[in-house]
Amino acid sequence: QLFWEKRLQGLSASDVSEEILKSMELPKGLQGVGPSSTAETLLAAVASALHSGATPITGQLSAAAEKNPAVWLNTAQPLCRAFAVTDDDIRKQEERVQQVRKKLEEALMADVVSR
């Protein structure tokens, strides 16, 4: 199915207490292509491409895909405009990972001390 991501539109993940989990925020440079493209649809497409493919994700390289995605769509890529990841993007992500690891370490140490 060409626009399979549309089937997931409106669905949300929830935790064991059935509280809806907050969706991830995508980088501002990542923009969807196609009919009624939403951030949730784009997230599903990118996550699926990362999980199932071994090729790099570049987005839709043809400018014609924005005009008529049903005709000019590269099915090996998610429904998003072409993008590039910069060294600055990588550096910012590394900083975020370090901050989260530090918070996790503090939480684990607090748990050990409380026991």
Do residue 55 and residue 1 come from a single domain? yes
The amino acid that residue 112 corresponds to is V
Query: pTM, whole model, 2 decimals?
Result: 0.59
Q: What is the pLDDT of residues 53-91, one digit of tens each?
A: 788 888 888 777 667 766 667 778 888 888 888 899 899
- Asked whether residue 107 is domain-assigned, the answer is yes
Do residue 92 and residue 36 come from a single domain? no
Write the burial class of residue 48 (CB in 10 Å: 0-12 exposed, 13-18 middle, 19+ buried).
middle
**How many H-runs (helices) and E-runs (strands) does the chain carry?**
4, 0
Q: What is the pLDDT of residues 16-35, one digit of tens each?
A: 888 887 777 777 778 887 76
Q: Which two tokens stand for residue 35?
A: 């009919």
- Asked whether residue 15 is domain-assigned, the answer is no
Which range marks the domain in which residue 52 is found?
A: 1-6+28-84
Do residue 47 and residue 68 come from a single domain? yes
